Structure 1
Amino acid sequence: MKKIGIMMLCLALSPLAYANEPYTPGYTACMEEAGGVTVDMIDCIAEELETQDARLNGAYQALRGELSEQRRQSLLQAQRLWIQYRDANCQFYATAGGTLARVSANECMLRETAERAQELDAMGGF
């Protein structure tokens, strides 16, 4: 029963479950290779988070360059508040206890970062 639960979690955390999110193909392969092993899953998530964080920073900088000074300040304030929200929300997952809580918290950081990068990409020319 425990193995089925872990496999269900792997499927839920898989990028296939988030078809609209821009995870890399390498992330999918890494998660499949992890086979439900917590430490390997966390390593996969950490690697993809680096990629998505770089994408987020690039999208943020590109958008900033298109905005007036007043809108740049609004974007900065919104980004700071978004980071506070993301960190607090994902920390909530971590407090559930157990090793799967670590996976869920890390996956939350990845998901939220990828979604924000996608959102900022879409705002270009706004």
Structure 2
Amino acid sequence: MKNLLFLLVIFPSLSFAANCVNPENSDETWICLNKQTKTTETQLASAYQKALRGLDVEDKKNLIAAQRLWVRYKEADCNFISTNIGKADRALGQAYGRQCANERAIQRTNELNSMFK
């Protein structure tokens, strides 16, 4: 329970949904993380599709290549975080990895939205 509380203090965005304000166990925390993942990935996909619209063929190719590299970066970066923290507590490491991916997706969504208004 201490780990969950610590996780919520470090990542307050975990409490973005009413049911996720105060998860009582690791199962509830995972439910919250999964809800957040679904939301952030949907928003990212929408921003990406919006960005692709209106680009010429060459710019589309460049954005697709950049997005593929960004996905690889996100996966590697969050895997490092998950693995590093997971040395002490595997479940906590997995939660940090998932939260990392959510935060990276939010950042990328904001980047795409600001570039392609």
* TM-score > 0.5, shorter chain as reference: yes
CA change 1:43–1:6 in 2 (3 A) is closer
Q: Distance in 1 between matches of 2:74 and 2:66?
A: 12
Partner of residue 65 from structure 1, selected from 53, 71, 75: 53
Identical positions, percent: 25
Counterpart of 2:64? 76
Counterpart of 1:93? 81
Do 1:90 and 1:108's aligned partners in 2 also have CA atoms closer than 8 Å?
Answer: yes
After the TM superposition, which parts of structure 1 deviate over 6 Å for at least 4 consecutive aligned residues?
Answer: none
Do 1:64 and 1:72's aligned partners in 2 also have CA atoms closer than 8 Å?
Answer: yes
* TM-score normalised according to structure 2 size: 0.84
* TM-score normalised according to structure 1 size: 0.79
Partner of residue 13 from structure 1, selected from 7, 11, 14: 11
* Alignment length (residue pairs): 113
User: Offset of 1:100 from its aligned partner?
Assistant: 1.0
User: Offset of 1:111 from its aligned partner?
Assistant: 0.5
Offset from partner CA, 1:7-32 (integer Å, 9 cap, x none) = 232111112xxxxxxx8xx7243332
Structure 2, unpaired ranges of 5+: none
Provide the alpha-carbon RMSD of the alignment: 2.0
Do 1:90 and 1:106's aligned partners in 2 also have CA atoms closer than 8 Å?
Answer: yes
Counterpart of 2:106? 114
Q: Distance in 1 between matches of 2:61 and 2:38?
A: 26
Do 2:44 and 2:108's aligned partners in 1 also have CA atoms closer than 8 Å?
Answer: yes
Structure 1, unpaired ranges of 5+: 16-22
Q: Distance in 1 between matches of 2:19 and 2:60?
A: 37
